[in-house]
Amino acid sequence: MSENEFDVIFIGGGPGGYAGAIRAAQLGLKTMLIDDRQGDDGKPAPGGTCLNVGCIPSKALLDSSKHFHHIQHDYTDHGISVDGLSIDIDTMLERKRKVVKQLTGGLVQLFKANKIEFVNGRGKLFADRQVEVTPNDGDKYTVTGQHIVLAAGSVAFSIPNVEVDNELILDNVGALEIAQVPKRFGVIGAGVIGLEMGSVWSRLGSETVLLEAVDDFLPVIDRDMAKLAQREFKKQGLDIRMGCRVSAAEASDGKVKVSYTKDGEEHQEVFDKLLVAVGRKPATDQLLADDSGVSLTERGQIEVDGSCRTSADQIWAIGDLVRGPMLAHKASEEGIAVAESIAGQAAHINLDTVPWVIYTDPEIAWLGKTETQLKEQGIEYKTGSFPFAATGRGLAMGNAVGQVKILADAESDELLGCQIVGPSASEFIGEVVVAMEFNGSSEDLARIVHAHPTLSEAVHEAALAVDKRAIHKVN
């Protein structure tokens, strides 16, 4: 194989591309990874949206703001009070940048250790699996791969008449770099990003208003669970307004004027900063030459089969570019599965058991089907739920908000779904993922010994409640 030929070339070094490239190299494939992202210092910053402007920096700010909020509001019951509490936003942002840099720098080391040919620059796919490489600091050249994996990720959607300048009108990138607490923080979209970033600035003192076009809050989970979460967010001061479709935003004199329609009437609001969080779209711009042979769907995603094969021979696509949830762990699993398929191994991804988590407080985690979906599909089911307020650990922690809900098939008892609103939901949703991946039943979860006292006992009790035999509540 010549210098410019590879077994596999990954275009895009987010959680999909980098995890796939590492796995391919582990399997002995001659691997190239091309990623265009650079840090503020001009150094390569692989890791994609997730590490640079997504999962990790947003969680860093969520954690900083959570500490600040808890000290202010939740510790007096513990006998803890603090005078003269303050937060230094510069320090908070610097900590976030350090976390990101540590992770992106760590990836570059991992690429070296795995002998991956890593190029910081752009890749573009042409016919016959040829990739034009444009390094950030050099001249263009062409390489060829036996296999190509497209992993270019996604970018934020925009809406007409709302121009993101990342000064006053922000997307996810600008929302992670706000230098001082805005007095009034507006958010378009009460989806995942809106709730997480709205929580950050609300906890730090912004009067935060979320304008959401649809009438139902979080339609991806059941109404009882969504109501529970919405009630908690309201208590925290988040002003979530449903049925409000934003039609325009105008920035002038350091303020943003937002126009929206509710029940057919025009309204306006003025904010100091406005976040646009109305979804994301696949980053296919400048990725595919006209002769690449790769087809897109009507929604602009790259068309793939269940194994991530595109319409072009030996070209694969993964992560946010393709169907399925836009989540980092889903992208990584696809990258790894594709690398294994290329190496001739049997690989499989089960999109039905991909868990979702919203890292608000309480956290919201779920997987599988909701009651609404089961009713629509005519599937007979039974449910069991259990509140954290009835767990010893929740009460001892002083954080007993929310509940676990489990859905199981009425006849076979096979687990069909789980939704959790509550503390650390992100951590113990994993137990239900494992059970569902093994086609487990609510009985299985009910018979597993759970450590006491833990929050995960609420999962155990919810499983017991499916057959009306929970111990610490009236069934």
Which positions touch ligand NAD (CB under 6 A)? 159, 188-194, 196, 211-214, 245-246, 277-280, 325-327, 357-359
Interface pick for ligand FAD out of 331, 337, 407, 415 (rule CB under 6 A): 331
Number of residues this chain uses to bind ligand FAD (CB under 6 A): 36
| Segments in 87-155 forming alpha helices (H) | 89-113
Q: Is the separation of the CB atoms in 172 and 54 below 8 Å? A: yes
State the nearest-atom distance from the C-beta of 205 to ligand FAD, in Å. 21
User: Which residues touch 262 (CB under 8 Å, ≥6 apart)?
Assistant: 241, 243, 244, 245
Is the CB of 44 or the CB of 422 nearer to ligand FAD?
44
CB 250 within 8 A of CB 257: yes
Among 32, 44, 48, 461, binds ligand FAD (CB under 6 A): 48
Give the nearest distance from C-beta 375 to ligand NAD in angstroms. Answer: 22
3-state secondary structure 187-244: EECCCHHHHHHHHHHHHCCCEEEEECCCCCCCCCCCHHHHHHHHHHHHHCCCEEECCC
Pair of tokens at residue 385? 């739920």
Binding of ligand FAD by 283 (CB under 6 A): yes
* Residue closer to ligand FAD (CB basis): 32 or 244: 32
Give the footprint of ligand FAD on residues 183-212 (CB under 6 A). Answer: 193
Q: Which does 283 bind (CB under 5 to 8 A by kind): ligand NAD, ligand FAD, none?
A: ligand FAD
For residues 218, 222, 227, 228, the Cα torsion angle rounded to the nearest 10 degrees is -110
Shortest spacing between CB 285 and ligand FAD, in angstroms:
8
- Nearest CA to 12 out of 101, 124, 96 is that of 124
Residue 45's SS3 state is coil
Q: Which of 266, 265, 261 is nearest to 212 (CA)?
A: 261
331: partner contacted, choices ligand NAD, ligand FAD, none (Cβ within 5-8 A by kind):
ligand FAD
Residue nearest to ligand NAD (CB): 191
Q: For 309, what's the count of Cα atoms within 13 Å in the CB-facing half-sphere? A: 11
Q: Which listed option, ligand FAD, ligand NAD, none, makes contact with residue 48 (CB within 5 to 8 Å by class)? A: ligand FAD
CB of 373 to ligand FAD, least distance (A): 21
With b for 16 or more beta-carbon neighbours within 10 A and e for fewer, the 50-86 pattern comes to bbbbbbbbbbbbbbbbbebbbeeeeeeeeeeeeeeee
The residue among 13 and 402 lying less far from ligand FAD, judged by its C-beta, is: 13
Among 8, 11, 229, 421, binds ligand FAD (CB under 6 A): 11
Tokens found for residue 154: 């996604």
Give the β-pairing of 315-317 and 273-276. unpaired
Select the binding partner of residue 368 from ligand NAD, ligand FAD, none (C-beta < 5 to 8 A, by kind).
none
Among 64, 65, 172, 360, binds ligand FAD (CB under 6 A): 172
Q: Which two tokens stand for residue 440?
A: 């487990």
Q: Does the protein bind ligand FAD through residue 312 (CB under 6 A)?
A: no
Positions annotated as catalytic residues are 452
User: Among residues 87 and 289, whose Cβ is nearest to ligand FAD?
Assistant: 289
Region 351-380 residues binding ligand FAD, contact defined as CB under 6 A: 359
Sequence-ordered alpha helix ranges (H) in 29-84: 48-53, 55-73
Shortest reach from residue 468's CB to ligand NAD, in Å: 34
Q: Which residues sit at the interface with ligand FAD, rule CB under 6 A?
A: 11-17, 34-37, 48-50, 54-55, 58, 122-123, 151-154, 172, 193, 283, 286-287, 319-320, 326-329, 331, 359
